Amino acid sequence: MSNHSFNEYAIRSDVKQIIEGLGFKEPTPIQIEVIPAALRGESVIGQSHTGSGKTHAYLLPLFNQIEEGAKGVQFVITAPTRELAYQIYDEVKKAIEYAGKTDVWRSSLVIGGTDKQKMMDKLSSNPPHIVVGTPGRVLDMVKEEALVLHETKAFVLDEADLMLDLGFIEDVDQILLRMHEDLQMLVFSATIPERLQPFLKKYLSNPTHIQIKDNKPSPETMEHRLVALRHKNPADIIIDISKTIQPYLAIIFTNGKEQADELANDLLERGLETGIIHGGLSPRERKRMLKDLQNLRYQYIVATDLASRGIDIQGVSHVINARMPKEEEFYVHRVGRTARAGMQGTAINLYAEEDLPLIEKLERRGLSFTFYEVKNGEWVEAKSYKERQKRNRNENDMEKQAKQMVRKPKKVKPGYKKKMKQEADKNYRQLKRESFRKKK
């Protein structure tokens, strides 16, 4: 229990009604830091994990600033995917209802895949107070002059690093160029990559930087398994794994669209019916895939990191990392798709030697990994990479010792190198036998 309460914030009675309607008892760590800063009108960079309560960390202060009599757009909230924008919009509508302001506070969802002309007419005739949308479609509406943002007071950029990865920062840049210089910027991102820094420096002057470090990077009901790749095709290992598990839904993560397409094809060729979801699919294909998932058509879906944050997929029982991500936070987001609401969850990670530094970092954060391999359709505990490294070092030392035991002949005859190698191999086998006997 924290010592903080929503009552300590200087917020209006209608915003208090929202908090009561949502059933919030006390603010989460990100809300404790963001709400006071946002209420003071400060620009904020907030770093926290999915599920930390960041959506309401910015929504509550924005609703507190809303001017009912004003006609123009007061706040713009952007998200990298339609699905995420829709989730935020859903929270906006819920909040308006709890505040008892359905006829007073106006909001609009501005995303692609809908009738553009109809949207333009609606926005022009009855400008909303709050716009939630994807950068591309918001920019379209601004260019068509259906949205006028000169008087907008605050701009929210949600999942900024995902925006960057999906190539939408340029659209955001174009939107912001058309907005007021004194704009309050609220930027939320799981990570702050170096490539994002120029954008942040351009638009945020002396922002309040808030970072919420979660010491528990995954639920306690989660199991983390490591399976060595050993130069095998990931699809072959995943097929073996599929014979040992019965997932409600398993997300198989890859590092990029090309890898996802290749792996999905490999799995289909091997007889595993698999869905696929990534930023390269058309809006129609993505919508159809999400509908298929809701209808339980697939037990397995190959995905990029888009699905770890940009899309809410329900009922995930297993996460399989066909390749480990490059950063700790991406691992946290991926495995965060499962073991929700106290349910059990399993993360199965195919790893190569280059992934060991990441695994060690995650272990230092408190994650506990178990080492397995699949043999004859069953899980078998395997030696950890540390034991294997030790064994490899011992074997290398033995090889050196075996070579040193071979004496080079005084007179060099044809084929002497072959004979020396044979003798070294014989010595090596002898040393291994002795080592084995000592262990026994």
Position 37 in a domain: yes
At residue 11, the pLDDT reads 92
Of the residues 211, 235, 269, the one at which a domain ends? 211
| 166-214 residue pLDDT tens | 788 999 999 999 998 889 999 998 778 788 899 999 998 889 999 887 5
Same domain, 40 and 185: yes
CA separation, residue 410 to residues 49, 292, 405 (Å):
69, 76, 15
Tally of structural domains, the chain: 3
Please report whether residue 380 resides in a domain: yes
Find the mean pLDDT for residues 327-352. 79
Under a CB-based contact definition with an 8 Å cutoff, are residues 182 and 333 in contact? no
Same domain, 205 and 229: no
Least confident of 72-86, 218-232, 353-367: 218-232
Question: Pick from 211, 238, 254: which residue ends a domain?
Answer: 211
Q: Which of 147, 181, 211 is at the close of a domain?
A: 211
Instruction: Answer yes or no: is pLDDT of 433 > 80.
Output: no
pLDDT tens digits along 252-262: 999 988 999 99
- Indicate if 49 and 186 belong to the same structural domain: yes
Residues 416 and 302 in one domain: no
pLDDT reading at 43 higher than 70:
yes
Domain-located, residue 394: no
Residue 80 located in a structural domain = yes
Report, as an integer, the average pLDDT of 20-45. 92
Residues 332 and 420 in one domain: no
Rg (alpha carbons) of the chain, rounded to whole number = 28
Question: Which of 2-6, 35-39, 211-215 shows the lowest mean pLDDT across its residues?
Answer: 211-215
CA angle 75, 79, 81 (to 5 degrees): 145
Both 236 and 344 in one domain: the answer is yes
State residue 377's pLDDT score.
85
195 belongs to a structural domain: yes
Is the pLDDT reported for residue 52 higher than 80? Answer: no
Q: Is 76 left (phi over 0), alpha (psi -120 to 50) or beta?
A: beta
Report pTM: 0.67
Mean pLDDT to the nearest integer, 3-32 = 90
421, pLDDT greater than 70: yes
CA pair distance 371, 45, nearest whole angstrom: 38
Q: Assess if residue 336 is contained within a domain.
A: yes
Structure confidence at residue 382 as a pLDDT band (50, 70, 90): confident
**Residue 17 domain-assigned (yes or no):** yes
Overall average pLDDT of the 213-228 stretch: 72
Most confident of 41-45, 166-170, 282-286: 41-45
Average pLDDT over residues 299-316: 79
Tell me, yes or no, whether 11 and 159 share the same domain.
yes
30-34, 53-57, 328-332, 398-402: which has the minimum mean pLDDT?
398-402
> Do residues 380 and 419 both lie within one domain?
no
CA distance 173 to 133: 15
279 or 386, which is more confident?
Answer: 279
On whether residue 311 sits in a domain, the answer given is yes
pLDDT for 69 equals 81
Range of the domain at 365: 222-385
Predicted pLDDT of residue 428:
66
Residues 332 and 365 in one domain: yes
The answer to whether residues 201 and 247 belong to one domain is: no
Q: Reading across the β-sheet that carries 250-253, which strands appear in turn?
A: 274-277, 300-303, 250-253, 318-321, 345-351, 222-228, 369-375, 378-381
**Do 190 and 262 belong together in one domain?**
no
40: closest CA among 180, 159, 184? 184
Residue 77 banded pLDDT, cuts 50, 70, 90: very high
pLDDT at 182: 86
- 155 and 229 inside one domain: no
Looking up residue 99, the CATH number of its domain turns out to be 3.40.50.300
pLDDT of residue 1: 47
| pLDDT over 70 (residue 2) | no
Question: What does the mean pLDDT of the chain come to?
Answer: 84
